[in-house]
Structure 1
Amino acid sequence: MDQLTQIILQAGRSAVELSLFILLPIMVVMLSLMRLLEARGILDWLVARLAPLLRPAGLTGLGVFAALQIHFVSFAAPVATLTMMESRGASDRHLAATLAMVMAMAQANVTFPMAAMGLAFGPALLMSAIGGLVAAAVTFHVFGRKLSNVETTVDETLHHRIADDAKGVLDVINRAGAEAFKISVGAIPMLVLALVAVMVLRTTGGIDLLTTLLTPLLRAFDLDPALILLTLTKYIAGGTAMMGVMDELLKNGETTVATLNASAGFLIHPFDVAGVAVLISAGRRVAAVWKPAALGATVGILVRTLGHGLL
């Protein structure tokens, strides 16, 4: 019992440090910047110019906005946009393409903190964008081609706050800070549980046994055995939990920054149990197209994985 208590306390300490001292300050800055650009109308301008270029990939103006949200806010931010698309009459085919893109891209709440751990941020964003576009296109033209392409009148106006004066700017920053705090604190429970599970598996020898069994296969492909633990954590508990485990492994010298960068395409995205559950909560029609979207996201993640491996 004493050992379990020590594990829980250690996991809790690590989770709180990661959430409040790494995730929170980065999210405050990035969310404030994103919301100010949004309030100034700069994002509207950018979306209006990118949307016609990305339309062949099955993305509408709101789909482009969802891509910006996951890249610069968090994996949960596009949920509101997906809900908006559904309520404003976007077709099932466009919904599937947008959902696939979001599931295949790297989420800001993981990429920005992991940049502090050594993640090559520029290449990660580039490969994320490429993977997301591939996922959207293959879903729209292949996996989702039988979905309805009928759209009702689609209003793609982005409704947001205006920051025309000092008070407006301060209000936007305060709201962004509150949103960042909510994201950071909300990550603590999952981080604690994931780290406790990992430490228990280590203590009981479960990870060592699995690593021993799979190491020859991983070595044959010149892969780091630490990926076993990272992959289990990622696909069961989510990207934020994986980030916590990666932080611990790096601090303990059990993996390297090279492994972090090589595996970014495979490990940094919201296509996991927790992430998919959150994203399909956007609406009934969004949930109905998750299967073709998942197939498209798989292709996009494969492209990202190969890209990071080559880089």
Structure 2
Amino acid sequence: MELLTQIILDAGRSAVELALFVLLPIMVVMLSLMRILEARGVLDWVVARLAPPLRPAGLTGLGVFAALQINFVSFAAPIATLTMMESRGASDRHLAATLAMVMAMAQANVTFPMAAMGLSFGPALLLSLVGGIVAAAATYHGFGRSLSAAEAKLDETLHHRVADDAKGVLDVINRAGAEAFKISVGSIPMLVLALVAVLALRTSGAIDTLTAALMPLLDALGIDPALILLTLMKYIAGGTAMMGVMDEMLKSGAADVALLNASAGFLIHPLDVAGVAILMSAGPRVARVWKPAALGAIVGIALRSAGHVLLPA
């Protein structure tokens, strides 16, 4: 019992430090910047110019906005946009393409904190964009081509707050700070549980046993054994849990920055049990198209994974 208590306390300390001293300040700054750009109309300008060239990939103006949200806000931010697309009459085919793009891209609530750990942010952002567009195109023209393309007359107006004066800017910053605090504090339970699981598995020797059993296969494929634990945490508990495990492994020397960068495409995206479940909550039609969207996302993630292995950190 004493050992379990110590594991819980150590995991809780690490989780709170990561959430409050790494995730929170980064999310406050980035969310404030994004919300100010949004309120000033800069994002509207960007979306209006990116939407036409990305239309052949199955992305509408709202789809482009969802891409900006996941890359610069968090993986949960596009949920509201997907709900808006559904309610405004977007076709199932466009919904599937947008959902595939979101599931294939790197979420800001993981990439920004991991940039502080050594992730090369520029290549990660570039590969995220490329992977997301490829995922959308693969879904729209391939996996989702049998879905309905019928859509109502779309209203793609982006409704958001304005910041025309100092009071408006301060209001936007305060709301962004509250949003960042909610994201950061909300991540603590999952981080604690993930780190407790990691420490318990290590203490019991389960990870060493699994690694030893898989070692011949890993050696043949040239895969670092450290990815076993990271992969388990990522695809079962989600990206935030994986981030907490990666932080602990970097501090203990079980992983290094080179591994962090090489595995970023494979580990940083919302295509996991928790992520898919949350994204499907955007609406009934979004939930119905998750299978072709997931297949398209796998194509985008595979491209990102290869890119992170081949590009220098």
Partner of 1:242: 242
CA distance in 2 between counterparts of 1:281 and 1:208 reads 37
- Contact 1:224-1:255 at 8 Å conserved across structures: no
Structure 1 residue 266, shift from structure 2 partner? 0.1
Greater CA deviation, 214-223 or 150-159?
A: 214-223
CA distance in 1 between counterparts of 2:193 and 2:180 reads 21
Partner of 2:257: 257
CA distance in 1 between counterparts of 2:213 and 2:136 reads 37
CA distance in 2 between counterparts of 1:120 and 1:218 reads 25
Partner of 1:208: 208
Q: CA offsets per residue over residues 258-308 of structure 1, 9 Å max, x none?
A: 000000000000000110011010000000000000000011100111111
Greater CA deviation, 43-52 or 200-209?
A: 200-209
Partner of 1:172: 172
Structure 1 residue 203, shift from structure 2 partner? 1.0
Query: Which amino acid in 2 is paired with 1:58?
Result: G
CA distance in 1 between counterparts of 2:172 and 2:59 reads 28
Normalised by the length of structure 2, the TM-score is: 0.99
Query: Which amino acid in 2 is paired with 1:216?
Result: P
Name segments (4+ residues, structure 1) moved above 3 Å. Answer: none
Partner of 2:301: 301
CA distance in 1 between counterparts of 2:215 and 2:184 reads 35
Structure 1 residue 309, shift from structure 2 partner? 0.9
Partner of 2:130: 130
Partner of 1:280: 280
Partner of 2:4: 4
Normalised by the length of structure 1, the TM-score is: 0.99
CA distance in 2 between counterparts of 1:218 and 1:306 reads 17
Partner of 2:267: 267
CA distance in 1 between counterparts of 2:127 and 2:268 reads 11
Greater CA deviation, 197-206 or 140-149?
A: 197-206
Query: Which amino acid in 1 is paired with 2:168?
Result: G
Query: Which amino acid in 2 is paired with 1:117?
Result: M
Structure 1 residue 198, shift from structure 2 partner? 1.1
Q: CA offsets per residue over residues 184-223 of structure 1, 9 Å max, x none?
A: 0000001111111111111111101011111222222222
Partner of 1:149: 149
Describe how 1:30-45 pairs up with structure 2 within 5 A: 30-45=30-45
CA distance in 2 between counterparts of 1:6 and 1:109 reads 28
- Contact 1:47-1:64 at 8 Å conserved across structures: yes
Structure 1 residue 97, shift from structure 2 partner? 0.1
Partner of 1:75: 75
Partner of 2:97: 97
Partner of 2:22: 22
- Contact 1:239-1:269 at 8 Å conserved across structures: yes
Partner of 1:225: 225
Q: Secondary structure at the match of 1:174?
A: helix
Superposition RMSD in Å? 0.6
Query: Which amino acid in 2 is paired with 1:112?
Result: F
Partner of 1:194: 194
Partner of 1:59: 59
Q: CA offsets per residue over residues 227-277 of structure 1, 9 Å max, x none?
A: 000000000000000000000000001111000000000000000011001
CA distance in 1 between counterparts of 2:294 and 2:270 reads 11
CA distance in 1 between counterparts of 2:158 and 2:243 reads 32
CA distance in 2 between counterparts of 1:253 and 1:11 reads 17
CA distance in 2 between counterparts of 1:275 and 1:9 reads 27
CA distance in 2 between counterparts of 1:79 and 1:213 reads 40
Query: Which amino acid in 1 is paired with 2:292?
Result: P
Structure 1, unaligned runs of 5 or more? none
Identity %: 82
CA distance in 1 between counterparts of 2:263 and 2:126 reads 15
Query: Which amino acid in 2 is paired with 1:213?
Result: A
CA distance in 2 between counterparts of 1:227 and 1:186 reads 26
CA distance in 2 between counterparts of 1:218 and 1:182 reads 39
CA distance in 2 between counterparts of 1:275 and 1:52 reads 29
Structure 2, unaligned runs of 5 or more? none
Q: Secondary structure at the match of 1:282?
A: coil
Q: CA offsets per residue over residues 157-202 of structure 1, 9 Å max, x none?
A: 0000000000000000000000000000000001111111111111
CA distance in 2 between counterparts of 1:159 and 1:121 reads 30
Query: Which amino acid in 2 is paired with 1:79?
Result: I
